[in-house]
Structure formats: structure tokens, C-alpha cells
Amino acid sequence: MTAGLWQNWVLPGIWITVQLLVYSAALAAAVAFTVGTARTHRSRAVRFVAGVYTEIFRGTSALVLMFWLFFVVPPLMGWQLVPMWAAVLALGLSYGAYGAEIVRGALNSVAVSQREAGIALSFTPWQRLRLILLPQAVPEMVPSFCNLLIELLKGTALVSLLGVGDVSFAAYLVRLATQESAQIYTISLVIYFVLAFALTRSMKALERRTKRNIGIESPPGLLGGLFAKGPGSDRAEDRLAGTAVAGGASK
Amino acid sequence: MTWDWSAIADFMPRFWDGVLITLQVLVLGSLISFTLGLVWAIAFRAPTRFIRWPVNLVTEFIRTTPLLVQLFFLYFVLPEWGVQFSALTTGTIAIGLHYSTYTAQVYRAGIEAVPPGQWEAATALSLPAHRTWIAVILPQAVRRITPALGNYVIAMLKDTPLLAAIGVLEMLQQSRLESASTFQYTEPLTLIGVAFVLIAYPASLLVRSLERRLVR
């Protein structure tokens, strides 16, 4: 591979992948917290609407949703989405639906007496959520959100099919130019792996920090997630809980 | 732009072909991921770290990199190494391999949940290793993990459209072919979107009821 291909396609591709990840993660987080708390709302109608949202966006494939936003919305609505924003919208909306389940599970795992204490102190529902429920629920969410963020990172590769110049698209172009498939695809897989590794490390730090805020000390782990049995096995429990139900039992 | 039902009617024969291919990929991919995942999970417990470490690294690598890139890797690189598969076979292998690293974690959790007394009892009865696994550990592990495996089958279903990228004639590729010839994008794409929800939602209800029955 020549230096020109590297500078003009692969490096900008990494930057686009990172941008996509940040934008769609922000949208997914907004959707997840809105829909997730709506699913614990006392009004049945609100819970129902949020439930329908989750089932629809979790039920369909992110790629099909992306194609739909890109090809179907323009003739129906009369305006066209830039590929990048169609991609961010599709990723954010569908991974937000998975995130909503995480938020719901974590909110439900906070002890009922905590909510009752809030009522006894005559907090408003918003104050209860902000001051009592969320601070205890967030540390519970972090490991599952870490998994979801990795899924989202992998999901960003789909945008290459809409012609957005991310890492995968760069790999495709470089393959066309040089005919050396093994080299460029190995490089791009390693790029994704490194990005994912950086994400898991920083999310582990975030988890320790949010837990310390509510007085739980967890042991430091340097390369724990990759080689050690301890931290790996608690993630395995999240996996056992499955993609559909996350959070759940308290540690 | 208005909704055109006749476009749906024209798309129907292609749509059913696509559904069949999607289901075929799903069944074969699940079989690959269930068996290979079990192999990984048993290797996680190998007595020497020279097996455990590479297996951990490889599965972590496959799990945290995009299926789409892996698909292209297998599709373009295997022929360079002199291995030639059809797009359908390559896609099924890629999806099975990718999801085997997820099912491996499920098996691992299930195996770890078997009480240690069961291992000790097997040792006390001096059962050979393969008998311990087949007759004692796995029957107890599999019962707990069936719902979690079901969740990954649903996740796999939603990843099958990626195979359209290498030209496998599953649902998405069928709708792209249809749109390319008729210039009707709305109806075929919407139909397959609805089809995914119609398959995935009852399936997730089924998994949920399994979960309630099996995991108490």
C-alpha cells in the first residue's frame, strides 16, 4: 500500500469512524434515557408507546433501517438526508432502543424502598429520578453500555455501504486500487480492535468512578478484561442476561 | 410519491426467495456458532495458559471487530489463499464464526454456574474428562443458557442483511435487485423492514417465555 492511499483514505477514514461513533453514541444515549425512563413511567399510555418504539427498532436490522432512511424517506418526505446523517440517525435510533432496555433494567434494579423514601420526603418525580434513582442506576448500566458501545463501533462499518468514507470504505477502495486484500483488511480489523480496546479500558475506569461515587470500591484491573478470569466472568453474566434483558440483578 | 400495492405484488416471488435464503443462513449459521462456541468455551478452561491466552485473544478480536469487514476479509482473502467458496457459503461461515464468539461467552457463563461440587463428584468417581463434560457438566449448563442462545439467534437474524454486501440473495439483496429494475425503493424496502419485525418480535416473546420457564 502506498503512502498516498494511507494519507488520503485510511487516516481520514479512522477520523470519520470516530466522528460517527461519537454522534451516534450521543443520539443513542439521548434515546436510551428518554425511552428507558418512559418505560418506567406511571402512565400506561407512555409505557406502551415507549414499548412499541423499542420493539420496532430492536426488531428490524440496523442496515435495513439505514437503507430505508436513505432511499425511502427522500421521495416520501421530499427532502434528502446526507448519507452521514442517515447513518447516524439509523445507528442512534436502533442502538438507542437496546440502550433503553439497559436503562429500564437498571432503574428497576434500584431498591423500591429508595423510591418510597423519595416519596416520603415529598420529592417531585423529577427530583426522585435525578437525585435518587439515576445516581444508583448509572453504575449498574455502565458495563452493559460498554458492550453496546462496542456493538455501535462495529455498526459504524455499515455506513460504508452508503458510501460514507469510513475505515471499511477506505479498505474497500484500497483493495480496488492495490488488489492486496489480505493486507488492507487485516489492517482495518486491527484498527477496529484497537478502537474497541481503548473504549473498554475507558469504560472500566468510568465504572470504577461512578461506583466510588455511591461508595462501592472495585478492584483495579489493568489488562483484566482481556486475560484475567475475574472481570471477564462478570461480563459473561451480562452476556447470559442476553441482549434483550440487561441490568437486572444487583452485583 | 404514493404507496403502490402492485409493486409489493410484483416483489412477492423475489421476497419469498429472499426469506428462504435468510432462514437458511440463519439455521446453518446458528449450527456453526453453537458448535464452535462450545469448542471455544471448553478451550477457555484448558489446563494450560498456552491454549487459554491465544483462544481468549482470538475470540476477543473476532468479537470486537465488525462482521462486515470480516465478511469482506473472508470473501476476498480466502480465494487469494486458494480456498474458493460461494458467496452464500462464505457469508454463512462468517456469521457463524462471528457469533460463535458470543455463544462462547454464554457457554462459559453456563459452565461457571454449575456448582463446583459436580466437578468434584466427577473426580471422586474418577470419570474421564470427556465423560465429565458430556454426562455431568454440559447437561446442567445447557438448560440455563438456552434462552441466551435464543437471543443471539435473533441478533443473527438482524445481521443477515450484511450478506447482501457480497451479493448473497437474501431479503435485502432481493429488494435491491427489485429496486434496481423498477426504481421502486419504498415498497420493497418497507416490506422487508416489516418482515424483520414480524419475525423478530414473536421470536423474542418465545425466548422470553423460555427464560421464565427454564431460569427460575
Average pLDDT for chain B? 90
List the single residue in B53, B152, B196 with the smallest CB-CB distance to A60. Answer: B196
| Contact between chains at B148 and A242 (C-beta distance less than 8 A) | yes
CA B164 to chain centre: 16
A75-120 residue pLDDT tens: 777 777 788 888 999 999 999 999 999 999 999 999 999 989 999 9
Please, what are the averages of pLDDT over each run of 10 residues along chain A (251 residues)? Answer: 78 92 95 94 93 91 89 78 88 94 92 92 92 90 92 93 89 88 91 93 87 74 45 43 37 28
The x, y and z cell numbers of residue B151, run together, are 437471543
pLDDT single digits (tens) B16-29: 999 999 999 999 99
ipTM score assigned to the predicted complex: 0.85
pTM (two decimals): 0.84
Going from the N-terminus, what domains does chain A have, and what CATH number goes with each?
A: 15-218 (1.10.3720.10)
Q: Report angle CA B73, B79, B82 to the nearest 5 degrees.
A: 130
| Residue A36 Cα distances to A4, A76, B73, angstroms | 46, 30, 37
pLDDT band at B215 (very low <50, low <70, confident <90, very high): low
Task: Give me the pLDDT at residue A225, please.
Answer: 44
In one letter, which amino acid is A89? L
Compare all CA atoms of chain B with the CA of A94 and give the residue at the minimum distance: B158
Query: Residues of B numbered 152-211 whose beta carbons fall under 8 angstroms of chain A's beta carbons: which are they?
Result: 152, 154-155, 157-162, 164-165, 172, 179, 185-186, 189-190, 192-193, 196-197, 200-201, 204, 207-208, 211
Amino acid (1-letter code) at residue B158: K
What gap in Å lies between CA A190 and CA B201, rounded to an integer? 35
* Each residue's pLDDT tens digit, B66-121: 999 999 999 999 888 888 899 999 999 999 999 999 999 999 999 998 999 999 99
Buried b (16+ CB within 10 A) or exposed e, B182-191: eebbbbbbbb
Distance CA B1, CA B192 (A): 19
What is the distance between the alpha carbons of residues A233 and B65, in angstroms, rounded to a whole number? 21
Count the domains in chain B. 1
Chain A interface mutation, best of B56, B76, B84, B176, highest count of A Cβ atoms under 10 Å: B76
Residue of A50, A29, A10, A8 lying closest to A166 (CA atoms) = A10
Asked whether the beta carbons of residue B56 and residue A227 sit closer than 8 angstroms, the reply is yes
Residue of A nearest to B179 (CA): A71
Q: How far apart are CA B38 and CA B56, in angstroms?
A: 14
Specify whether the CB–CB gap between A137 and A107 falls below 8 A.
Answer: yes
Tell me if A142 sits within 8 A of A203, measured CB to CB: yes
- Put simply, the chain B residues between 127 and 156 with a CB less than 8 A from any chain A CB are 144-145, 147-148, 151-152, 154-155
Question: Which residue reads 434496481 in cell numbers?
Answer: B180
Size of interface A-B (CB pairs under 8 A): 162
How much is the pLDDT for B1?
60
Whole-number Å distance between alpha carbons of B188 and B16: 12
CATH code for the domain of B71: 1.10.3720.10
**C-alpha triplet B40, A245, A215: angle, nearest 5°:** 95
Q: Enter the C-alpha cell of residue A81.
A: 438526508
User: Is the pLDDT at B123 greater than 50, yes or no?
Assistant: yes
For the stretch B122-153, what's the b/e string if a residue is b when 16 or more beta carbons lie within 10 angstroms of its beta carbon? beeeeeeeeebbeebbbeebeebbbbbbbbbb
Contact A59 B197 (CB under 8 A): yes
Q: Which of A61, A172, A242 sits opposite B161 (nearest CB)?
A: A61
